[in-house]
Chain A
Amino acid sequence: MHKKDLSLLVLILVVGAVVGFINPRFLLAGNLSNTANQIGLFGIFSIAEAFVIIIGGIELSVGSVIALLSVLFIDLIVNHDVNWVVSFSMIVAGGLVIGVMHGLLATKMHIQPFVVTLCGLLIYRGAARYYTEDATAGFGFGASFPMLEWLTAGRTNVFGFPLPHSVVALFIVTAVAWVVLHRSVFGRYLYAVGKNEEAARYSGIRSDRVVITAYIICGGLTAFAAILIAMYTRSISPAVHGSFYELYAIAAAVLGGCSLRGGEGSIFGVVLGTILLQVLQNLVNLLGIPSSLNFAVMGTVILIGVLADQYLVQRRRRAVTAKGRLQANIAGPQLERASAE
C-alpha cells in the first residue's frame, strides 16, 4: 500500500473515531450498513472516473450518464418487460458505446476531453428528461424482480452485520481494477500514457487505443453503477438523478492521489477517497451540522487534503533535486556543448 493511501486511511479512522465519540449512533450497525451501501455505489463510478483521470483525461458526464441509463433500465424492465439479464447487458453495452464515442472524439477528433464530456453531460441529461417527459420513472405496484433486487440492493447478514451487496460489487470491481491497473500490461500503458504520452508513443505504445479503452472502461463501469443506483433508489426523477455525481467521482479520485495531469493514483486511494467523502456526509447528518453545509464541508476537506499533499510533494521534490545535484557533482563537470553555445 502506498504511503499516501496509508495516510488517507489514518485520516478516515481518525474522523470516524471522532464522530463515533461525539455521536455513538455513527457506530450502529444500521448506520454503518447504510454508509457502506453509499460507499459501494459511489465507489464503482469513482473507479470508473479514475481510469480516465489516470490517462490524463476527464469525464464530466458521469452523473448524466447515470440518469439516462437508469431511466432506460427501469423503462426496459418495467414498461417493456424485457428480461432483466438482457436489460442489464443492454445498459452496460450502452455505457460502453458512450465510452467509445468519448474516446474517439478525444483522440481522433482532437477535442479536449473536458469539452467532449461537458457536452455529454448536457446531452445525456437532456435526453433522459425528454425520454420520460420529465416524469419520475419507477416501479409500479406489484412490479417485482426478487432476484434482481436481491442481487443489487439486497443485504446479506455477515456475523450480524447487514452487508449491502453494493459493497460486494465494489469489492469485486476494486479487485479486478487493482489487477488491471497495478499488475497488467494495460495498466502500465495507462500510467505511461498519462505520465508522458510522447515517451509512451516512442516506446511503441499505441496511445490512442489506450486512451479510448480507458473511456470504454469508464463508460461500462458507470453503466453498472447506474443499474445498482437505480435499483437502490427505485424512483428516478431524470432532472436531478445523479447530478453532481461526476464531482463526487473526481473528488474521490483526487483525494485518492490521482493528479488531473494524469499518470498518478491508485485504486486503493480512490476507494479510500470515496469512503472519506461518504463518512463526511454521514458526519454532517449525525453531528447536527445543517445539511445545507454538506458540500461546503466536503470542499473544505478536499482543499485541505490537496494542500497538504502539495506540501509533501514539494518537500520530496526538493530532496530529489538536492540528491541529483549531489550526484552531478560526483560525476564531475558535465555540460553539453549545445547549452554552452
Chain B
Amino acid sequence: MEGAFAPSRFSAASGGAVNPRMSEPFLELVDISKIYPGVVALDHVSFSLSPGEVIGLVGENGAGKSTLMRVLGGVVEPSGGIIRIDGVERRSLTVADAINGGIAFVHQELNLFDNLDVAANVFIGREPVYGGALKLVDRKRLYAQVRPLLERLAVDFEPDAPLAELSLAQRQLVEIIKALSLDARLVIMDEPTSSLTLTETGRLMRVIAGLKADGVSVIFITHRLNEVKQCADRAVVLRDGHMVGSLTRAELTPAEMIRLMIGRDLKSLYIPPEAPPGESVLEIAKVVTQTYPDRAVSLSLRRGEILGLAGLVGSGRTELARAVFGVDPLRGGSIKLDGEPIRITTPRAAIDHGIYLIPEDRKSSGLLLDVSIAQNISLPDLASYLRYWLVDTKCEIENACRQRERLNIRAPDVATTVDSLSGGNQQKVVLAKWLSMRPRVLIFDEPTRGIDVGAKQEIYDMLRRLTDAGVAILMISSDMEEVIGVSDRIAVMHEGAISGFLDRSQFSEHNVLQLAVGHKV
C-alpha cells in the first residue's frame, strides 16, 4: 500500500480478502468486442467483478470506456463475446436485463427532473399507488421508502427537497440513491467527479466506500488518476479498444496508469511549415471564463503556426474559444490582436477583427442545415455581396463555386442543402464561410470530429496552406494523433488553466497526458 494513502477511512472495506463477499465474481465479461464500420471500439475485452469491488476504468478519449459501459447497460449490442451474470451466459444484454441484473448507471448528464422533489425523482415511474384504478400517488409511502435510503448515504438533504435547489453533487447522490432503490449490485459512474469541488469529491469517495462495505460494486470512469489510486481496488486500463492492463492496489500508481494508457502507434500527419512562425498575432492575457471563474488563461498565438490546444473533455478549452470569439462574456483578462488591445463582446466584433471560430458542433452552431451551400458560405459576409443594396446572388454563387473547388466540397452543385452532405463536406462548408473572408486567427474546435479519413487529410492540408499564408490557427482537439501530428506547438489545459506548453521536440503522448491530468512534465 502506498505510503501517502491514509488507510483509516477505507481500511474496513479495502482490506481485500477480509471481505468474504468479494471472493466470488458475479459479473464476467469474456472477449467482448464491438466493431463499428471502420472502427474497432472494443477488441476482446475481458474482466470480472466481485461483489463490493471498486474498479477504476481509465483510458484516453476514444479508448472504448463508454462503449464498454454501454454494453453493460444494455444500450450497445456487442459484436462478439459473452456476458455472464450470476453464471447465466448471454451474448448481449437488454436494458431490462441490465436493470434486473442489478446494474445501474449514474450518468454524466444527470437524468433527473428539475421540477420534482427528491423522493419523486427516486421513484419516478415506480411510485407507490393507492385507490385502485385511479392510481393515486401514495405520498406517505413514497417518503417512507426514500428516507432509509437517504439515511444510508448520510446525505444532507430531505426527501421533499425540490431538486432544483440541490447542487450538482447532491443531484449525483440522488442518482445513486435511485440506483440503490433498484437494488443495484453494481453502480457505474461516468466521470462522477468532473464537476465536483474537492469537498464534494471527498464525500463521494466516502459514499463509494459505504457502497463497497454494503457489498455493492462500483465501476467509475475517470480522468483523475489520483482518485483511482485513492479508492479503487483495481484499475482497468483501456487503449484503442484493448484492455492493456489490470492493476491491483499494490501496483496502482498514476505513473503506471499513464504508461499503460499511452503507446499507440501514431501516424505522422505533420506537414512542416514553409517558414518559422512569425511574431505574436493574438495575445490572450489572464482570460477568465464563466465555467472556471477562478482560473485565468494566458497564451499567445504566432503568425503562421498551428497551436494545438489539448486537454481532457471538460478542461475548459471550448469555453476559452467561446470567450475569445465573443459568444460568452469575458469574466476577466484582455485580448490583444497585433499588439493592439481589442474588446470582443459579440461574435460580430470578433469577426470584424478577422478572428473566426469553427465550432465543435457544426450542426447546431456552424450551419443552417436546410439551407444551400452558397447561402451558408455567404452568411457572415453578406454585406460584401451587395449590389444596389440587395444581395447579388450571382456573385454569391460564383464565390461558393470557387470555394467548392478550392476545398473540394463534394456536392452536385452549390444550391444543394448542407443536410444532405457527409460530415466531412459539411465541415468544409463551415471552413469555406471563413476562407472567403480574410482570416487572421482561426480557432478550430475539434476540426475532424465525425469526419472520414480522406476529408481529414484534406482539412490538415488546408490548415497548413492557411498558416503558410500567414494565418494563425488555434486547434482544439481531443484526438491525440491529431494534436501531436498536426500542431507546431501544443498548449495543454487542465481544469480551466494552462498546465504547460510543449515544443515539437517535447511532443509525446506521455507528455501531453501528464499535463492533461495536471502533472508536470
Residues of A whose CB lies within 8 Å of any CB of B are: 179, 183-185, 188-189, 191-192, 195-196, 198-206, 263, 320, 323-324, 327-328, 331-341
Contacts and interface: CB of A to CB of B under 8 A. Distances in A.
9 contacts: A185-B382, A188-B382, A200-B379, A203-B351, A203-B433, A204-B347, A206-B346, A331-B454, A340-B39
Given A324-B420, A338-B62, A338-B449, A332 B386 contact: no
Given A179-B390, A199-B366, A341-B63, A334 B347 contact: no
Nearest to A332: B452
A202 B357 contact: yes
Contacts of B357: 202
Given A188-B382, A323-B420, A338-B61, A195 B370 contact: yes
B62 A327 contact: no
Interface stretch (B225-233, B255-263, B272-280, B421-429): B421-429
B383 interface: yes
Chain A CB within 10 Å — which of B346, B417, B424, B454 has the most? B346
Contact of B366 (A191, A202, A335): A202
B65 A203 contact: no
A204 B66 contact: no
A202 B348 contact: no
B127 interface: no
A333 B38 contact: yes
A337 B61 contact: yes
Contacts of B61: 337-338, 341
A188 B478 contact: no
Contact of B391 (A188, A196, A331, A341): A188
B420 A331 contact: no
B387 to A, nearest CB: 10
B186 to A, nearest CB: 20
Interface in B341-377: 346-348, 350-352, 357, 359, 364-371, 375
B37 interface: yes
Kindly list the 5 A-B residue pairs having the minimum CB-CB distance in the complex, ordered from nearest.
Answer: A333-B38, A334-B452, A336-B450, A337-B62, A333-B37
Contacts of B350: 204
A206 B449 CA distance: 28
Given A179-B390, A341-B61, A202 B327 contact: yes
A188 B368 CA distance: 11
Contacts of B39: 333, 335, 337, 340
Given A188-B375, A204-B380, A331-B422, A199 B364 contact: yes
Interface in B426-464: 433, 449-455
Contacts of A205: 348, 379-380
Given A327-B420, A332-B452, A206 B365 contact: no
Contacts of A332: 38, 452-454
A31 B383 CA distance: 47
A337 B382 contact: no
Chain B CB within 10 Å — which of A205, A206, A323, A341 has the most? A341
B62 A195 contact: no
Nearest to B364: A198
A198 B360 CA distance: 13
Contacts of B375: 188
Nearest to A188: B382
Chain B interface: which size bin?
Answer: 35 or more
B383 A199 contact: no
A251 B477 CA distance: 48
A332 B127 CA distance: 48
Nearest to B348: A204
Nearest to A185: B382
A323 B379 CA distance: 26
Contact of A334 (B359, B364, B451): B451
A320 B368 contact: no
Nearest to B352: A204
B128 to A, nearest CB: 36
B67 interface: yes
Given A184-B390, A199-B368, A332-B38, 19 more contacts: A183-B391, A188-B379, A191-B371, A195-B368, A195-B369, A198-B365, A200-B368, A201-B365, A202-B357, A203-B379, A204-B346, A320-B417, A324-B419, A331-B422, A331-B454, A333-B452, A336-B450, A337-B61, A340-B41
A327 B449 contact: no
Interface string B490-521: 00000000000000000000000000000000
Contacts of A195: 368-371
Contacts of A337: 39, 61-62, 449, 479
A202 B359 contact: yes
Interface in B52-70: 61-67
Given A203-B433, A320-B419, A335 B379 contact: no
Nearest to A324: B420
B108 to A, nearest CB: 13
Contact of B422 (A196, A202, A206, A327): A327
Contacts of B366: 199, 202
A179 B390 CA distance: 8
Contacts of A339: 36, 450
A203 B37 contact: no
B124 to A, nearest CB: 27
A287 to B, nearest CB: 40
B107 to A, nearest CB: 15
Interface string B378-418: 11101101100111000000000000000000100000010
Interface string B63-96: 1111100000000000000000000000000000
A203 B383 contact: no
Contacts of A198: 364-365
A196 B419 contact: no
Contact of B351 (A204, A333, A336): A204
Chain B CB within 10 Å — which of A179, A188, A204, A332 has the most? A204
A235 to B, nearest CB: 42
B347 A201 contact: yes
A47 B378 CA distance: 26
B109 to A, nearest CB: 15
Contacts of B417: 320
A341 B380 contact: no
Contacts of B385: 185
B452 to A, nearest CB: 3
B67 A341 contact: yes
Contact of A340 (B62, B346, B419, B421): B62
Given A199-B365, A331-B422, A332-B38, A338 B478 contact: yes
Contacts of B479: 337
B78 to A, nearest CB: 13
B38 A327 contact: no
B452 A327 contact: no
A341 B65 CA distance: 6
Contacts of B348: 204-206
B62 A334 contact: no
Contacts of A324: 419-422
B165 to A, nearest CB: 21
A191 B453 CA distance: 34
Chain B CB within 10 Å — which of A185, A195, A201, A323 has the most? A185
A196 B369 CA distance: 9
B18 to A, nearest CB: 36
Interface in B184-240: none
